[in-house]
Amino acid sequence: MQIQKAPSERVILRTLAYYDIFKYPLTEKDISEGLSLDENTANEYRNTLDHLTKKGIIYKFGDYYSLTNDERYVHQRIKGNMRAGQWMKKAHRFSRLISHFPFVRSVSLSGSLSKGFIGEDPDIDYFIITEPNRLWLARTMLVVFKKAFLFNSHKYFCINYFIDTENLEIEEKNLFTATEVKTLIPVYGEQVARDFFSENNWIRKYYPNFKVNGLESIHVARSSVMKRVFEFLLNGKHGEWMDNRFMDITVNHWYKKFQNKYSDEEFNLVFKSNKKISKHHPRNFQKKVLIEFNNRLMELRKNYNIDIEPEPLVLNNRKL
C-alpha cells in the first residue's frame, strides 16, 4: 500500500472503505491517521474531503464521514463509543487478573473495545504475551480458570491470541493486522509492550502517524507470591514437558473439531499454533474482512473510475 505525503483521494477512500465494513463512520481526525500531513497538506486534505462529499462519493453527517448514506451508523457509533467507556474499567480489572497468571509478561486489550466501540452483543478480547516455552502452560491455566469460574463465558474473557517474548513480530502484514496492532491498548507489562510495538514498526506503512495507545498509563506487571511459586515449580524440564503436552492436546482438539471445515493449509492459518504462538480464530475474520474490503474498492473503481489497488490476500506465497 503506497502512502503518499500529499493527501490523495485513494488513501481517504481506502480508509473509509475499510471501516465501512463495520458500519463505522469516521471523523476527519480518524481518517488522517492514514496520511502524513503537515501544515501545507492539512488544508489540501480537508479540501479533498469536501470535494469527495460534493461529488457524492462519500457522505458527511455532522463531524462524521462515511461511504454509506445512512445516518443511523453515526448514532450507532456514538452509542458504541459510550458503551466502550463504561466497559473499560471492567476490562482493566480482568487484565490485571490475567497479568497475575504464571508466565504472563504483557496484557493488551484488543478487538472492538480497543477501538473504542462495544456493540449489542459484546465481548472483551485480550492479546497476551508470555514467557518463551511456557505459552501453552499460561494459556491452559487461563482457559481452565475461564471454564471453572466464568462458566466458559467469552463476554469478559476472550483469550484467543498469544505470542511469546521471542516472537513479537506479527507475520501477516496487511491492513487488517496493521489496524489490529495499531489499536491495541497495552494494560500490563510496559517494556514487553514497547518491544512489541518496536518489532511491528511496519504498520507505519499503513498508519504513518501511529502512536501507541495508553503507554503513559500502563500498569507495572507485579509478580504475586503465587505467580512466583508456580513459575519456580514449572521452570524446569517438567514445565517444558507440560507446555509441549498442552500444545499437542489443544491443537489436536481443534483439528478434530474443524477438520471438515478447513483444508489443512487454511487450518494452519486460522489456528496458527506452535511453541511461539497460539491463534484461535475459527471464523477466519481476517480473510472475510479483507475480501469485503476489496469488494468495496472494486465498487469504487467501477462506479467512479478511481485507480485503487486491492489488498493482497497472500501470506508467504499462500492465500489467506
**Mean pLDDT of successive 10-residue segments in the chain (320 residues)?**
53 94 95 74 88 96 98 98 94 94 96 93 93 98 93 83 98 94 94 96 90 74 85 94 97 90 82 92 86 95 89 64
Number of domains composing the chain: 2
In a domain, 229, yes or no: yes
Q: In terms of domains, do 63 and 106 share one? A: no
DSSP state of 86: H
Give the pTM: 0.91
Residue type, position 185, single letter: I
Per-residue model confidence (pLDDT) at position 320 = 57
Residue 269 to residue 154: CA distance in whole angstroms: 22
Per-residue model confidence (pLDDT) at position 38 = 67
Residue 157 to residue 205: CA distance in whole angstroms: 32
φ, ψ of residue 67 in degrees (nearest 5): -80, -15
Per-residue model confidence (pLDDT) at position 267 = 85
Q: In terms of domains, do 104 and 31 share one? A: no
- In DSSP terms, 42 is beta-bridged to none
In a domain, 1, yes or no: no
Q: In terms of domains, do 218 and 305 share one? A: no
Q: In terms of domains, do 219 and 302 share one? A: no
Residue 273 to residue 107: CA distance in whole angstroms: 19
Range of the domain at 254: 87-285
Helix (H) or strand (E) holding 12: helix 9-20
Residue 172 to residue 184: CA distance in whole angstroms: 16
In a domain, 58, yes or no: yes
Which SS3 state, helix, strand or coil, does residue 201 take?
Answer: helix
Q: In terms of domains, do 157 and 41 share one? A: no
In a domain, 82, yes or no: no
Pairing of strands 64-66, 104-110: unpaired
φ, ψ of residue 256 in degrees (nearest 5): -65, -35
**Cβ-based neighbour number of residue 48 at 10 Å:** 20
287 with 318: CB under 8 angstroms? no
In a domain, 197, yes or no: yes
Q: In terms of domains, do 122 and 137 share one? A: yes
Per-residue model confidence (pLDDT) at position 301 = 92
CATH number of the domain to which 39 belongs: 1.10.10
Cα-only R_g, the chain:
21
Residue type, position 286, single letter: Q
